Amino acid sequence: MTAVERLLADDADRSPRADARRNLERLVAAARAALAEVGVEVTAQEIARRAGVGKGTFYRRIPSREILLEAVLAEVLAEALAVADRALTRPDPGQGFREFATAYVRLRAESCGVNEALGGAGFPGLDGVLSEIRSRLRQLVERAQAAGAMRPDIDWADVAFVLAGVTTDPHTIGLRADDRQWERNLAVVLDGLSGAPC
């Protein structure tokens, strides 16, 4: 279910006017962009400004900032879940895991808000999709291990923390990371996961 559909389902007015639906779509798109750039602390006023609507329009279409953010995060995390499901169908379990890991880390690197939500930013409505992502990650890891494509001495939960650590602060010891640093970090991690145990 998309964020717009989720918000419309919660609305007593199930078939809003075309302009009201367009405003809702603009608010969802603005919230998604603002979440990526600012994170979960983005204000309703900032979202409304980015959508090109007034704060009054925001609250006529959206019950609260938290409900909007949760709907947008649920939509983005459902996309990550779909990537995991596709990865589980790959004939090569190692390749399936690498595809998921790349998409997952890219999502964390490109969206501050998603990174915060995956880190437990406190959206109870996301518990179900987070549980499903954990389940798929476990399946992907165990499948890759059974095929000999991943070290057998690593627990699937360790992989969750390792992938979360691939996205780093933009500065360290006087160095500045570029926008693609996460890809190089991930390559090192994937190499380490697929190598023989020490």
pLDDT digits (tens, 9 = 90+) for 63-101: 899 999 999 999 999 999 999 999 999 999 999 999 999
Query: 20 with 80, same domain?
Result: no
Asked whether residue 120 falls in the same domain as residue 102, the answer is yes
Nearest alpha-carbon partner for 50 in 34, 71, 39: 34
Is pLDDT above 90 for 60?
no
Q: What percent of the chain has pLDDT over 70?
A: 92
Domain that holds residue 58: 3-67
Tell the burial category of 96 from Cβ atoms under 10 Å away from its Cβ (0-12, 13-18, 19+): buried
Domain of 45: which CATH number?
Answer: 1.10.10
Tell me which of 21, 52, 67 is where a domain ends: 67
Count CB atoms within 10 A of the CB of residue 149: 17
Tell me the pLDDT band of 30, cut-offs 50, 70 and 90.
very high
* 177 and 88 inside one domain: yes
Q: What is the CATH number of the domain that holds 136?
A: 1.10.357.10
Residues 121 and 37 in one domain: no
Query: What was the pLDDT predicted at 163?
Result: 94
Q: Is the dihedral of CA 173, 179, 184, 189 positive or negative?
A: positive
Structural domain count, the chain: 2
Q: 88 and 60, same structural domain?
A: no
| Region of residue 159 (left: phi > 0; alpha: psi -120 to 50; beta: else) | alpha
Residues 78, 57, single domain; the answer is: no
Tell me the pLDDT tens digit for each residue of 134-146: 999 999 999 999 9
Only one residue has tokens 């998603």, namely 114
80 with 146, same domain: the answer is: yes
- Residue scoring higher pLDDT (49 or 17): 49
